[in-house]
A and B are shown apart, each in its own frame.
Chain A
Amino acid sequence: MIEVQGVTKCYGDTVAVDDLTFDVRPGSVTGFLGPNGSGKSTTMRLIMGLDYPDSGSIRIDGRRFRDLSRPLNKVGALLEARAIHPGRSASNHLLALAAANGIKRSRVEEVLQLVGLEKVARKRAGKFSLGMGQRLGIAAALLGDPEVLLFDEPINGLDPEGILWVRNLLHHLAGEGRTIFVSSHLMSEMALTADHVIVIGKGRMIANSSMADFLARNSRQVVRVRTPESTRLRQAIDEMGATVRAGHDGALSVEGMTVEAVGDLAFRIGVPLHELSRSGASLEETFMNLTRDSLEYMDGSGLTSNGLRDGVPDKVVSP
């Protein structure tokens, strides 16, 4: 269990993390989302005691990080892909870390095998690909068999097989009752991996809810329809109470109606259709809209408020 309580961190004039409060609970994967530069890595560094918050407190199972008796046995972290001397072998890197916390040598072999690096364990880490570096970082995180695991952008540089592997690993670890906190700037990946989601933008909290809730509240369906008699159809749709917009190619984008309803309506008023499809903003697009100008969406309750951005209705992210 990680408890972040009113944490603020500035670097010079830049506010990297702004009054964040959240808990990360055991037994599930908590996704930590935000665009690049939104403060995710800073938050992770603060949790790991690498940087000090200007205010607020962070506890891991009720204790400060620096008070943990054997930190690697409590918290494992993949923070930076290449947090290793390029001239040192993977195996020696892990042996040094293991020694620092009195972890037995055999565990080094175990984690190297677990991440699939046993064959290159004695090679200089400078020769590693980005993906191998990530695997080594994950091995280091798992070294102490910790209850709490932090992964900062773990799938960066991984091939599809590696991504699937990380996804399974995270689920497996959470299934064992561990606390898993994983950051990403990819909404679609998190939708597949995380049970719970925390979204930040410009260092401030935007959303903190279960993934299912988050998706339900933030996904929207758009129906794309093209007709030579768009004025009539528009009027009819307006009367139904749905939102309609003309696209640049003459097609209409309808929100608030299903594909079936739009088709039925067109049939009823006798308008010929040249195209009728479900387009739907991608999850990624929704996420970008949600975080683009984060401060406008703050309403204190944690989740986004209904709001118009620049007066354009398609930026409304909650129903």
Chain B
Amino acid sequence: MTVSNQVLASGPSSAATHGDDPVETHGSRPSGHYSVVDVARAEWIKLVTVRSTTWSIVALVVVSTGIGSLVTMAKASQFSQHPYATGIGFDPTRLSLSGLLLGQFAIGVLGALFVTAEYSTGTIYATLAAVPRRHLVVIAKTVVFGLVAFAASEVTCFASFYAGQAILSGSAPYATLSSPGALRAVISGGLYLTALGLFALGIGYIVRHTAAAISIFVTILLVFPLILQALPTSYINAVGKFLPANIGLVLLSGSTPANSILMKHMFSPWVGFGILCAYAVVALVAGTLSMIVRDA
């Protein structure tokens, strides 16, 4: 095998045509700089060219819709036997979205893996050799992942909602998108998942390790609420509303805390969502700083 002259004959001078002008003016950023759009395109290619992305999204949609349907079916048959007992606080929207409580882990895994797989495989070196301005990598990843996660999450929520209401419609009260709070719950359910995914992505940049990132994510979602139960009621009420899991409870419900005994100590849906976004932003900013400051 010999070096192909055709490919290399041009020599390094041709590099200038790609935009790196060695005599450019100092100080100002040259026009030939790579942009965040270039980086986002690269991140998009990276996201869609590994199987874990496909599997995570399939898991998100199938598990959420499937579990949601099973839970709804169980409730529907219960309702037909004991309509009065089951009827108190019966929220058909919430019921149909209950599979998201499992699906949320799929989006967390996807968000964490999108980052940590770069570290575990060494791809990060190639990435940073092309994009040494590291904050651009995080921004591009956040935007690309955010859009993909949002699309997949909304599909999941709408699918879960329609499947659940179809199951309920024979035997129990059911909701349509025009029912009070239903459309809001379905949309905010997708936003809830997206924010969680971005939170996991930020954690990924902080810890750079798949197992560690997923453990932290699961701990915050699953273990914190359990720990909280061991505390006095006043703490549960004061602290509990800040937990992502409880914020999710409100976001996935057709009714709002104002008219629900269960959720009366919780934040209203959009305040809760704001707090959830704050979680994601804090994780992403910390992740960005960690990435910029530390060795790759």
Contact = CB atoms under 8 A, between A and B. Distances in A.
A145 B22 contact: no
Interface stretch (A161-169, A270-278, A298-306): A161-169
B123 interface: yes
Interface stretch (A80-88, A226-234, A249-257): A80-88
A99 B50 contact: no
Contacts of A87: 50-52
B122 A83 contact: yes
B12 A147 contact: yes
Contacts of B51: 87
Given A49-B132, A113-B4, A145-B18, A102 B125 contact: no
Interface in B123-154: 123-133
Interface stretch (B30-38, B164-172, B189-197, B281-289): B30-38
B295 A144 contact: no
Interface in A87-136: 87-89, 92-93, 95-97, 99-103, 110-111, 113-114, 116
A178 to B, nearest CB: 5
Interface in B1-55: 1-4, 7-12, 14-15, 18-22, 24, 29-30, 32-35, 38-39, 41-43, 45-46, 49-52
Contacts of A199: none
Contacts of B124: 83
B73 interface: no
B278 interface: no
Contact of A103 (B8, B9, B18, B24): B18
Nearest to A178: B12
Interface residues of B, number: 52
Contacts of B133: 66
B3 A73 contact: no
A101 B39 CA distance: 7
B12 A177 contact: yes
Contact of B38 (A49, A77, A101, A110): A101
B22 A99 contact: no
Nearest to A165: B1
B117 interface: yes
A69 interface: yes
A72 B19 CA distance: 11
A282 B134 CA distance: 46
A85 B50 contact: yes
Interface in A49-68: 49-52, 61, 65-66, 68
Nearest to A169: B3
Contact of A69 (B4, B33, B122, B129): B33
B42 A96 contact: yes
B12 A84 contact: no
B86 to A, nearest CB: 46
A259 to B, nearest CB: 39
A155 interface: no
A28 to B, nearest CB: 14
B8 A176 contact: yes
A161 to B, nearest CB: 7
Contacts of B4: 113-114
Contacts of B118: 85
Contacts of B8: 114, 142, 145, 172-173, 176
B121 interface: yes
Interface string A174-199: 00111000000000000000000000
Contacts of B2: 165, 168
B3 A172 contact: yes
Contacts of A86: 121
Given A144-B18, A146-B15, A176-B11, A84 B34 contact: no
Contact of A83 (B20, B45, B123): B123
A70 B2 CA distance: 28
Nearest to A141: B129
A25 to B, nearest CB: 13
Given A51-B296, A69-B30, A71-B131, A83 B121 contact: yes
A206 interface: no
Given A84-B122, A88-B49, A48 B12 contact: no
B125 A80 contact: yes
Interface of B: 1-4, 7-12, 14-15, 18-22, 24, 29-30, 32-35, 38-39, 41-43, 45-46, 49-52, 117-118, 121-133, 295-296
Given A99-B41, A173-B8, 15 more contacts: A69-B32, A72-B129, A75-B129, A85-B46, A85-B121, A86-B121, A96-B43, A96-B49, A97-B42, A99-B45, A101-B18, A101-B34, A144-B18, A147-B12, A161-B1
20 contacts: A66-B132, A69-B19, A69-B32, A69-B33, A69-B34, A71-B34, A71-B132, A79-B125, A85-B121, A86-B121, A87-B50, A96-B43, A99-B41, A99-B42, A100-B34, A101-B34, A102-B35, A113-B4, A145-B18, A147-B12
